[in-house]
Amino acid sequence: MKMTQSTGSSGIRRQKPSENDNVSLFDKASVYIHMAQVLSQLNDISEATKTVREALDVFRGTSQEVRVLVANSELAIKRGDYDAAIAMLSSVPVASPAFTKAQMVKADIYLQYRKDKHLYARCYQELVAINPCHATHVSLAEAYLRIQMLDEAVQSFERAKALSPGDPTIAGRIGRVLISKHDYLKAVDYYETALKMAPGNLVLRKDLAELYAKLRHFDQAQRVVQQAPSSDSEALSHLLQVVNLQLVLPTIHRGLGSDEMAVQALLKAYAIQKVILDRQKDEQPDVLNKQRAAIANTCFQIASIYASAPGNSERENVVKYCTLALRSDETHEGSLLHLARSYQQMGDLDQCQVRCSTLLRLNPAHEEAALMLADLLLQKEDNDSAIYHFQQLLDSRPDNFAALSRFLVMLRRAGKLHTSSADKEQGGLAQRYLRLAERSANVRVAHAPGLHFCKGLYARYRNNVVEAIDEFNLARRDPEWGERALINMIEIYLNPDNENLWDAANDTTEGNTKEQTENLRIANTLLDELPIARNERDAKLRVLEAYAVLAVRTKSMLDKAIQLFMEILETVDRDYVPALLGLATGYMLTKQQPKARNQLKRIAKMTYDQTLADEFERSYLLLADIYINRGKFDLAQELCKRTLTHNKSSGKAWELLGLVMEKEQSYIDAAECYQEAWTCEGEASAAIGFKLAFNYLKAKKLVLAVDVCNKVLDQYPDYPKIRKEILEKAYAGFRP
């Protein structure tokens, strides 16, 4: 600092510079200005101010006075004296070469520190008024863009275009502003006009092709790309433009229904990108890393196309191109996730776990990786590690509702959701983290839709449908959580007792009761609030609509529902599990059990996919139910145990296992299974409570039978069957 100070004050002589000195006046002023800037960066504002004041004395009356004045204003900004800075900058004469710079600095003060958009724009308007040229109109347009005055920006760009009609970039900039305004048709006109003037401008061509693709005019987008003039240029800048244009083609080809052509376009882009990387080998690391990331994204796009192939038939190519992507960028999250999914589908759980762990090291908040890893750990019966992953996320941010909702799903699968289970400490984890979320530092959290969704999910898992509906209802209008809340509400109204829809096949009555009809009416009303199912992405909504038709339970509507499920399989994926399950349910309700069994056996042979966990579980259990009715107990037990591997809170799986034990007259084992089922249902199911009490009675566990009967009657006092057939018999058994 001593060196700096000696150089700053005493090292520069105070004398009027002469125009005839060997060192130019500009360079002398630059020494003072740079010295002041260095001192300012060292936060020695007082010494910097002394240096500038000395410079003002030295250069007063010279051509460099204004440059020093602008530097002095920047120091005033650093001190927080904005009024002084504005006053200094306003004193710069119009004729000065530094006037434009002074106006721009003054404009930034108005915008950044005074938050005055009007005065900010006026500074640039004055520049245009003084010198209405192409450059000042462009500067004014850019200023308007900065403060989101898009109409005014377009007008300024148009004036600049009129002054320089041969500049095609202005039309492109106008096009981008029009896209921001969603004035797409006018934007297309500007781009087309610009391309006629400069057909070799690949940047404009790329922008127009992307706009046509965004508007789903894929034929026009393809025309724009194909009309690009050929060039033998090997210039690096040209190759970068060529590859950017090439990367628009995959979207176009996929829009036209050709995944194969999309892959070919990406492979061509990949080849050019490798040439570019080789040409950039002597560049700075940030340039190389940017190009490697671009190569990784291209490989990832290829892998994504293969991953969308029906039935996972291109799994090897997914692994191949994700691996290539990670060679270029080992932190590419999308490729790691695709690899984890592929290895999970291939049954290579160790490799899947490695990829999930890597992904979570890169992004500890990655929800799907956390859930996938938790599912793997559950399959390995490492429940504590699975729970630990989510606790880390939620301890650091209790109001991470996306993680909290997944945590509830995971606790349910781990069998740790219910406080009445043997492990009461872990059974209360859900309640603990729900309370932590409510007490978060964010005061608005208590009313957050995400929290209401999580509470609704917890209530639904505990078989408290009234509370679940209330909580989901508070989240259903939210853009982020609304669709999921609506889907849960619809599922509850279609099946409020959480029973299997196929059980209705044993009911010979066609149609619904008054209560069922009202529930169905509400479900259809809620369905109308969901977005219209347009494509494969909305296949789940189409399945839900088909279930609503199925729930009417008249013959004509059952046939219609079956047809809807078949259409989904034809248009989406012939192995789409939710639609196959719906089709099987429809066949069961129409007394076509062999057809239902065939669909379910197809699902049972598929690799389990945790993103469709509920559908796989229900499929296994429907097939197990069929096997029990046919006396194939071993096959039924295997399916129930497979279900419990993925979801230890599956009450239906425990119930079916209990039914098998009951049929084999192993009443103690049956009671243990029914006890688990009753716990999973939150001890709120009268039907399971009846079965549990009955098996306790048959096993001579009379006290336990009475206890269960009383719990059921407390909730359902109008349930005389359990009183007459079990409770009275148990009391009678106490008598000598």
Domains and CATH numbers, the chain: 607-736 (1.25.40.10)
Q: What are the CB-based long-range contacts (under 8 Å, 24+) for 11-20? A: 12/51, 12/54, 14/54, 14/57, 14/58, 15/58, 16/58, 17/58, 17/59, 17/62
Which tens digits make up the pLDDT trace of 259-295? 999 999 999 999 999 999 999 888 888 999 999 999 9
Mean pLDDT of 97-120: 88
User: pLDDT at residue 202 above 50?
Assistant: yes
pLDDT at 467: 95
Contact 531, 572 (CB under 8 A): no
pLDDT at 666: 95
> Phi first, then psi: what are they for 390, rounded to 5°?
-75, -35
Report whether 580 contacts 603 (CB < 8 A).
yes
Predicted confidence at residue 676, as pLDDT, reads: 92
pLDDT reported for residue 13: 44
In this prediction, residue 355 carries a pLDDT of: 94
User: Of 314-328, 526-540, 602-616, where does the model show the most confidence?
Assistant: 314-328
Percent of the chain with pLDDT over 70: 89
Global confidence as pTM: 0.62
Let me know: does 116 contact 110? Beta carbons within 8 Å: yes
146-169 pLDDT, tens digit each? 998 999 999 999 899 888 877 767
What residue spans of 397-448 are helical by DSSP H?
401-414, 424-427, 429-438
Q: Taking each helix axis as running N to C, give the angle between helix 686-698 and helix 667-680, from 0 to 180 degrees, rounded to the nearest 10.
A: 160
